[in-house]
Amino acid sequence: MCWSATADLVAGVGIATVGVASVTSVTRAGRGRDLPLAALPLLLGAHQVVESLVWRADGGTGPATLAWAFIALPVLALWVPAAVLCAAPKRARRRLLAPLAIGIATSTALAYNLSRHPVGADIRGRTVGYGVDLSHAGLLIAGYLLATVGSLLLSGDRRLLLFGILAGAGAPVCWVLWRLEFVSTWCALAALCSLVLLDWARGRPVPRP
């Protein structure tokens, strides 16, 4: 999330460009298991572009708002732990099964909530406020963080560990600024994390034939 439709669109295109570079890097190196994680910036970039449509629609409950919520909640809750497990070294895969299981359960519950209740958005100065009716919200938030940030911290890779630390530390700061309706800085965090992923993609060793 950024502070205007234009900022969201520019950030989305920039983050998606980083995603293209990440995917190209792992594809050229023949590292198929790394593709889901390398493609994460593409998803984050698309998410920013979707929110630019929410801005232009002046919020509301339209398709863009629903798409934004589905990407932000159930899709990322499952995508991140699954992608980390795919890319992880063999020694770390067993411990990553727990975040994946939590991600599957959390993603299913979030998708069910979104399918049962309307999602609304309204423009609040330089932020977009989203109204999502979640049952057991505290439990779902805990599951979301354990699945996403937890999988990165348990990945066994120092660059992904840095990614997890940035996401875990940056998210509360962005959330406070967003809740205060001061300015939305989620897009800056997404851009920074995407650059860390690009560095990870380029620094991975080429697998032996």
pLDDT of residue 208: 52
pLDDT of residue 137: 84
Asked if residue 208 belongs to a domain, the reply is no
Asked if residue 209 belongs to a domain, the reply is no
- Return phi, psi of residue 22, to 5°: -65, -45
Asked if residue 47 belongs to a domain, the reply is yes
pLDDT of residue 75: 97
Based on the structure, what is the number of domains in the chain? 1
DSSP string, 48-85: HHHHHHHHHTTSBSSHHHHHHHHIIIIIHHHHHHHHHH
If DSSP codes are grouped into helix, strand and coil, which group holds residue 135?
A: coil
Domain with 91, as residue range(s), is 5-203
DSSP state for residue 1 in the 8-state scheme: -
CB atoms near residue 158 (< 10 Å): 10
Average pLDDT per 10 consecutive residues for the chain, totaling 209 residues: 84 95 94 95 95 92 93 96 94 95 97 91 84 86 94 93 89 69 69 92 68
CB atoms near residue 180 (< 10 Å): 9
pLDDT of residue 59: 87
pLDDT of residue 86: 95
* Maximum C-alpha span of the chain: 55
pLDDT of residue 207: 55
Asked if residue 119 belongs to a domain, the reply is yes
As a dihedral over the C-alpha atoms of residue 85, residue 91, residue 94, residue 98, rounded to 10 degrees, the angle is -60
Asked if residue 136 belongs to a domain, the reply is yes
pLDDT of residue 205: 62
CATH number, residue 118: 1.20.1070
